[in-house]
Structures are given as C-alpha cells and as structure tokens.
A and B are shown apart, each in its own frame.
Chain A
Amino acid sequence: MNPYIPLLAVVAVAFILPVVLLAMSSMLGPKRDEAAKGDPYECGVPQLTPPRDHFPVKYYLVAVLFLLFDVEAVFLYPWAVVYRRLGILGLVEMAVFLTVLFLGLVYVWKRGALEWD
C-alpha cells in the first residue's frame, strides 16, 4: 500500500491550491452586480442563437474512434514491458494485432471519417 500514501498527499496538496485561489479571489474581488454583466459575451451583440442547439456530429465520431484506438493502444503497454522475454514470437503476436489495428485506421481513413471539411 505504501506507494499510494504519498500519491494521496500530492493529490491533497494539489486539491488545496485551486480551492485557496478560488476562495481568495471571491473574497478580494469586488461584487457589483449589473444586468449587462449577466448575459453571455457575444462581442456586444445580444445573444443571437439559443445557447443549447445541436452541433455537428463529426466531433462525436472522433471521440468514438479515439476510445476504440485508445483501447488498442492500452494493449501495447503490457506487451512492451515483457517484449524482450517473448522474443520473436512476441513480435509476431503484436504484428498481427498491429495490422488489424492499422486496417481499422485505413478503413476509417478511406471511408472519410477523418475528413474535416
């Protein structure tokens, strides 16, 4: 358990700092409430579109592909650690895995999911 106690200590210190900064700024800063300060900033123009309408779904596709390729990347770390002990067969195993992963990337590339018009 011992490696995790210093980790908790660092996390605690890292937690305190932003809280302190936020507390100090809310205490020190003046508070003059005013109508104009309330509405969102759009270069002075009153808000044109309601804030919560739909956005291009293209961003979603990048996020999903990130998840799938991240999972494939995660498989590489344990392999890299024991790679030397596996020798040539380790290379063959990972060659198969990497080709399948690369074919996935080629498919996504050719299908145009990575195009940003």
Chain B
Amino acid sequence: MIIGTENYLAVSLLLFVIGAVGVLARRNLLVVLMSVELMLNGANLAFAAFARARGVLAGDVIVFFVIAVAAAEAAVGLAIVVALFRKRGTVNLDRFTSLHQ
C-alpha cells in the first residue's frame, strides 16, 4: 500500500488537534507547554509531507527553523513558569486568579 501525502497529513492533523485539546483542557502549566510543542510538531510534519508532495525542499528548511524557534520559545516559557513557581509554589493554572475581577 503506497503511503500518500494524505496519510502524513492525517497524522499531523491528529497531533495538532491533540495538542490544541491539551492546551485548552489541561490546568498543569508544564503539560500545556508540552501540548504547544505537540502542535508545533504537527505543523512540522505537515511541512515535511508537503515538501515531498510539492518537491520543494523549502519545507525542510522551514521545519529546521521552526525547531530552533520552538526551542527558544520553550526556554522562555519554562523561565516564566519557574519564576512564577518560585513565588507561588504551584503550577496549577486555576490557582493563578489574582488578575480576575
């Protein structure tokens, strides 16, 4: 059975959607951060699959840059989480309500 681009797109879409559900549904900060990584991986997979379907290697170049940028974003995200944790002692999103009015 030949593996077509649709198969790769289906996997990338699933990863993207599972990531989105994780971001919206989970209250643990670290898991939300990981879910964003999942979404980015879904996008990366879609880029690589389309690069093969279209025969344009630019897709691979974008994935390479996206991995680098996602790492920088995760680093800053974790810096924020640790800075907050040091003060509040919790990573539960619901306990961060001092901004609600």
Asked if chains A and B are in direct contact (CB within 8 A), the reply is yes
Q: Mark B49-85, 1 if CB is under 8 A from A, else 0.
A: 0000000000000001000100110110011001000
A64 touches B75 (CB 8 A): yes
Are B82 and A57 closer than 8 Å at their CB atoms?
yes
Closest beta carbon of chain A to B58's beta carbon, Å: 14
B49 CB to nearest chain A CB (Å): 16
- Interface residue range, chain B: 10 to 19
Query: Is there contact, CB below 8 Å, between B75 and A74?
Result: no
A57 and B85 CA atoms in complex are apart in Å by 11
On whether the beta carbons of A64 and B68 are closer than 8 Å, the reply is: no
Count residues on chain A whose CB falls below 8 Å from chain B CBs: 10
Question: A64-B75, A67-B74 are known contacts; what are 18 more A-B pairs with Cβ within 8 Å?
Answer: A57-B82, A57-B86, A60-B78, A60-B82, A64-B78, A64-B79, A67-B71, A67-B75, A68-B71, A68-B72, A68-B75, A70-B71, A71-B68, A71-B71, A71-B72, A74-B68, A75-B68, A78-B64
Q: How many A-B residue pairs have CB under 8 A?
A: 20
Complex Cα gap A99–B79 (Å): 25
Interface residue SS majority, chain B: helix
14 A–B contact pairs at CB < 8 A? Answer: A57-B86, A60-B82, A64-B79, A67-B71, A67-B74, A67-B75, A68-B71, A68-B72, A68-B75, A70-B71, A71-B68, A71-B71, A74-B68, A75-B68
Instruction: Give A74 to B71 CA distance when docked, in angstroms.
Output: 12
The 8 closest A-B CB pairs, nearest first, are: A71-B71, A71-B68, A64-B75, A67-B75, A60-B82, A68-B75, A67-B71, A64-B79
